[in-house]
A and B are shown apart, each in its own frame.
Chain A
Amino acid sequence: MNYPGNLLYSKEHEWAKVDGDLATIGITWFAQDALGDVVFVELPKVGAELKQMDEFGVVESIKTVSTLYSPVSGKVIEINQELAKHPELVNTSPYDNGWIIKVKISNQEELKNLLSQNNYEALL
C-alpha cells in the first residue's frame, strides 16, 4: 500500500494531483484493494460541471460497486478513455495509468478541505 505525499485525499478515498488549476483524480490504493478486481468504471461526460464531493461516476468490481466523489469543484476536461478497455488499470496502477478524470479547478479555496498524506493515512 502506498499514499504518495504529493497528492491530496478525500475521506471517500479519492486522490487529487493538483497542478495549477488542473486536478487529476483517481481512487487510492486502499479503495482499489477494498473493491478488488475492477471491471467497469462509469465516467462523466467531458464538460460536466462538478461541485466538490459531487458524485461523478461509479466503479464496479466483481464483488461490489462504489460511488466516485469529486475532490474538487470544476469542469471535467478529460476522461481516461483507456479504462473502457482496461478497467483493471485502477487496480494495477491507481496513481498513474489508472487515473479517472481531469478537472479544471474552479475554486482553489476548497483544496483545504482535502487531506494530506499523513491525515489520510491516519483515517485508514
Chain B
Amino acid sequence: MLKRTALYNEHIKLGAKMVPFAGWEMPVLYAGIVLEHLAVRDNCGVFDIGHMGIIDISGANALPFLQYLATNDASLLAENECQYSILCNEAGGVIDDILVYRLKGFFRLVVNASNTEKVLAHFASHQKERANVVHRKDISMISLQGHGAKEAFPGLPVSLPHNHTVEWKGIVVSRTGYTGEDGFEFFVENEKAASLWKEILEKNIPPCGLGARDTLRLEAGLPLYGHEYNNEISPIAAGYSWAVKFNKPDFIGKAALLKLKESGAPYKLVGLKLKDRNIPREHFNVLSGGANIGWVTSGTFSPVLKMPVALAYIKPQFAQLQTEVEIEIRGQKYSAVVTSKKLL
C-alpha cells in the first residue's frame, strides 16, 4: 500500500499524473515536465515534498550523536541555520545525504524518502548516545522554488538568508531548495498543508511534480541518492568533501574518507553534454578510445540548454573540463564533452 502525503487530494483535484515513488504515491507531473521545469527557471513553481523524511533529534546528547553519525560539523550551526551533511558507513559509502537544521532546542534532519526507514534503523543501532529520535510524520514539506517566488507570493520573509529558517505565520520557513534556484521550503503541520498549498496556487504559481524536480536538480548538478550516491560511493567521489569535516572528533567513516581524500577517489562526478539528440540514461557506459572509463548516473534532455545532458562517474584522469569522451547508447557511440557537474 503506497503512502499518501497530506496533499494527495489536491493532486487528484489538479489532475496530476500520480506514480509510485519510494513507497509514496506522488505527482510526477501536472501540465508537463518541460513546462514545469521552465516555470521554475523563468519564474517559480511549487512542489509537494511531503514524502521527505523529517527526523527531530533532541536531548543533551543530540549534538554528540549527530557529530558521530554525520560528516559535517553540526556544532558550527547557529540556531535557525541549516547545513548539508552526509551519513556514511564505516567504508565511507553514503547511507543518505541530508539537511541538518538547528532549531530552538533540537536538531531537525530532512532525509530522502527512499532512505527514511533505513536511516531510522541506522540511528536506532547507534543509540548508545541516548539522543531522542522522533520521526515527524505529522509535518509536511512544501517547496516554493524560483527567483520569482518573492514577487509572486508577497509577504514571504524575503530578508531570510540562504540556509536559514524563520517562523512565519506559525510555519517554519527555510531558504533552501533542490532546483539550483532561490526558494523557500515550508515545514507545515499536515492538517494545515492543503490550505498553504492552495494559498500558493491562488497566486497563479504552478504546481510542479517529481519529474521537473528531477530534471531541475540534474541541470543544477545536485546528487540524488540511488543515482549519484549509494552505499559504495563516497562523498569524496561526488565532490562533497566540503561537507566532510575531518577536524572534528571521530565520526563514522572518518578513517576511510580520510584515506580516500589523500589517495583520491577512483571516480569523479562530472557533467556531460552531448552533441547528438540521443539521451544518455543511467548505467550507460562512458568510454574513451574504446575503453570503459565510467558510467552515467542520471541523464535527460535539458529543457534550458536544449541538449542531452548527464551526470556521470568517470576516472579522474578524464575529468578535466572539455575532455572529449563517448557514451554508448543502444550499441552506438556518441560523442560528449566533460563539463562541471553544475550543467547550467
Q: Which residues of A contact B (CB under 8 A)?
A: 36-37, 39-40, 42, 58, 60, 62-63, 65
Q: Does B215 contact A (CB under 8 A)?
A: yes
Given the interface contacts A60-B278, A62-B215, does A37 sit within 8 Å of B330 by beta carbon?
no
Residue pair B29, A39 in contact (C-beta under 8 Å): no
A57 to B277, CA, bound (A): 13
Interface of A is mostly: strand
Closest residue of chain A to B300 (Cβ to Cβ) is A62
Chain B, 285-344, CB within 8 A of any chain A CB: 300-301, 303, 308, 330
Interface size on B, residues (CB 8 A): 16
Q: Which residues of B contact A (CB under 8 A)?
A: 28-29, 32-34, 211, 215, 277-279, 281, 300-301, 303, 308, 330
A58 to B215, CA, bound (A): 21
Interface of B is mostly: mixed
Residue pair B279, A65 in contact (C-beta under 8 Å): yes
Chain A to chain B contacts (Cβ below 8 Å), 20 pairs: A36-B32, A36-B33, A36-B211, A37-B32, A37-B33, A39-B277, A39-B279, A39-B301, A40-B277, A40-B279, A40-B301, A42-B277, A58-B330, A60-B278, A60-B279, A62-B301, A62-B303, A63-B28, A63-B211, A65-B281
B330 contacts across to A, CB distance below 8 A:
58
Residue pair B34, A62 in contact (C-beta under 8 Å): yes
A38 to chain B, nearest CB (A): 10
A6 to B211, CA, bound (A): 35
B308 contacts across to A, CB distance below 8 A:
40
B303 contacts across to A, CB distance below 8 A:
62
